[in-house]
Amino acid sequence: MSEQTSGGRMFSRRRRANVEGGRQHFHKVKVTPEEEAQLLQLAEAQGVTIPRLLVESALAAGASETPTERKQVIVELFGVHRLLANVSNNVNQLARHANAGDEFPADAASTLAYVRKLAFRINALVDRLAS
């Protein structure tokens, strides 16, 4: 949880964390205006700076994703987990109502459809992490 910022958002640092003793080396990279636009777009999409994007991308050459991309998927999984907890509470209420012998609620079908949608979303996120 060391990546938490004062704004309370997890995993949202744009810059890399400081290291003891500082970073001793730097590299200067020249790019064309088109390359700069692409780098800017990629960095903004991931919520990081261009230097962080370049370092993570280069060091993750053998991996399918950068650490920032992986953190974004994990944050999304946490969000889906919260949604699933809320929906499961609704399903539990529907089951209690149905077991009481009353009519089955009309909105139960939409709740169950939402559960299926969340299950597919979870599967897609897990597949992204596994690849």
The CB-side HSE value for 91 (13 A sphere, CA atoms) comes to: 14
Task: Please choose, from the candidates 21, 22, 25, 19, the residue with its C-alpha nearest in 3D space to the C-alpha of residue 2.
Answer: 19
Note the pLDDT of residue 7: 40
pLDDT for 17-57, tens place per residue? Answer: 788 888 888 888 899 999 999 999 988 888 888 888 888 88
pLDDT for 2-13, tens place per residue? Answer: 333 334 444 556
Number of CB atoms found within 10 A of residue 34's CB:
8
**Secondary structure percentages of the chain, helix, strand, coil, to 5:** 60, 0, 40
